[in-house]
Amino acid sequence: MDNPSIEWINKSGKDCLIFTFSGKFSDQDAITATEKWRQIFASRKQEKIILIWNCLDMHDYDQQARTLWVNACQEMKDQISFIWLITNSLLIRMGASVISVFTSLKIKVVSTEKDIVI
C-alpha cells in the first residue's frame, strides 16, 4: 500500500489533491510519493492545485523523508495554490512550519477534513 495514498477529491466544486499518510513516513515512501506527485502535476501543467495533507494517522517521519518532501514542494511550488494540513500532532505541525519557511508556501493547519474551507 502506498504511503501516502494520493487521489483527487472535489471540495466546494474544486479539484484537490489529497495525500493520506499512515504510520511512519519513510525515506522510501517520500521517494515513491514525490515521483507520483510530479507525474500528476506534469499532467496538469497549467493549473494551480490545492493540496490536502491528511496526517491524522501519521505518527512519525524520517528526517530525510521531510527533506525530500521540502525539496519536492520547492520544485513544484509554482503549481501549488494552497496546502491544507490535517493533524493533531505537534511534531507534524512543526515539520509543516519548516516546509512553509523553506518554500514560502501557505500551509493552513486544521484538526479535521470538515474544517477545510475552500
Phi/psi for 104 (5° steps) reads: 60, 25
| Class of the CATH-defined domain 5-115 | alpha beta
Residue spans of the chain under pLDDT 50: none
Reading the block at residue 23, the C-alpha cell is 504510520
CA distances from 104 to 20, 72, 117 (A): 23, 13, 21
CA distances from 46 to 1, 79, 102 (A): 30, 8, 24
Q: Indicate the pTM of the whole model.
A: 0.94
SS3 26: coil
For 26-43, the pLDDT digits (tens) are: 999 999 999 999 999 999
